[in-house]
Amino acid sequence: MEKPKLISEDGVRVDGRRLDELRPIKMEVGVLDKSDGSAYVEFGKTKVFAAVFGPREVHPKHLALPERAILNCRYHMTSFSVEDRKPLGMTRREVELSKVIREALESIVFLEEFPRTSIDIYVEVIQADGGTRTTGLTAASLALADAGIPMADMIAAVAVGKVEGHLVLDVCDIEDKYGEADLPVAMAPRLNSIVLLQLNGRLSREEFQKAMALAREGISKIYQMQREALKRKYSSVEEG
């Protein structure tokens, strides 16, 4: 397929957004009955469920650690989430993303409160349109909070891309495919620490600085929405 025109002369992107605009975001907490905590997050056409189980007993038992809990994370894309059917099972990419999401979450969860247990996190991508790891991480931290697991902060994440020489916030699939660079960033906003940072492609030093500033802006907006989503769930119970 030929490369489409991604940014018009007056700075409007393929899906009609400005350069520093997020996609329409929807967040809901406590959507899955059988899990201890769950969340559903939508960034435009990217749709992700996250479920948390535990702390529960570790199986097989020898994996348990005597001084802290272990965190298991599975990032998985459903076979119907992409245009060409994805074969069942974990691909190389999914195993890697599971690892980076797990490591990001390990930095905020107080694991030492639950020795000899495991906390299992399942991130299921229902529809993929770019930015699934950041959406997944956003959903996973909401689900952990919903499960009542003690943690130092929430995690909000967004990707910044370089498309036709412009830095754009929250890249979608087509921008990611034909763009020059993709920089997913996840932060714990209160701790002000970066918990995930990857870069595909090339950015100059100045571009990187600008991209991080752009990401920070997006993350603070996403964090605000996470806050509202959590508060909304519990205030709605109060009325009923």
Partner 1 sequence: MPLYFSEREVVIPGQLLSDNGKHGGEGTYVIGGKVYAAQVGIAVRKNNKVSVIAFKGVYKPQPGDRVIGIVTDVKPNGYEVMLSRHLSGNMRIPDRREVKSFNLKVGDVIYAKIKESGLRGVMLDPSDRVKKIEEGILVSIHPAKVSRLIGRRGSMINMIKRLTGCEIIMGRNGMIIVKGPNPKSEFAAISAIKMVESEAHTQGLTERVENMIKNIMEGER
> What is the contact surface with partner 1 in residues (CB under 8 A)?
36-37, 54-57, 66-67, 108, 110, 113-117, 145-154, 188-191, 226-227, 230-231, 234-235, 237-238, 240
What separation, in Å, do the N-terminal and C-terminal C-alpha atoms of the chain show?
Answer: 53
Is 119 or 171 the residue whose CB approaches partner 1 more closely? Answer: 119
Distant-in-sequence contacts of 79-84, Cβ < 8 A, 24+ apart:
81/125, 81/126, 81/127, 81/128, 82/128
Between 191 and 194, CB nearer to partner 1: 191
Q: Which is nearer to partner 1, 165 or 240 (CB)?
A: 240
Closest separation between CB of residue 203 and partner 1, Å?
Answer: 29
State the burial class of residue 63 (Cβ atoms within 10 Å of its Cβ: 0-12, 13-18, 19+).
exposed
Smallest gap, in angstroms, from Cβ of residue 146 to partner 1? 7
The secondary structure of residue 17, as a DSSP letter, is -
Q: Which is nearer to partner 1, 114 or 122 (CB)?
A: 114
Q: How far is CA 68 from the centre of its chain?
A: 25
Residue 226 beta carbon to partner 1: minimum distance, rounded to whole angstroms: 8
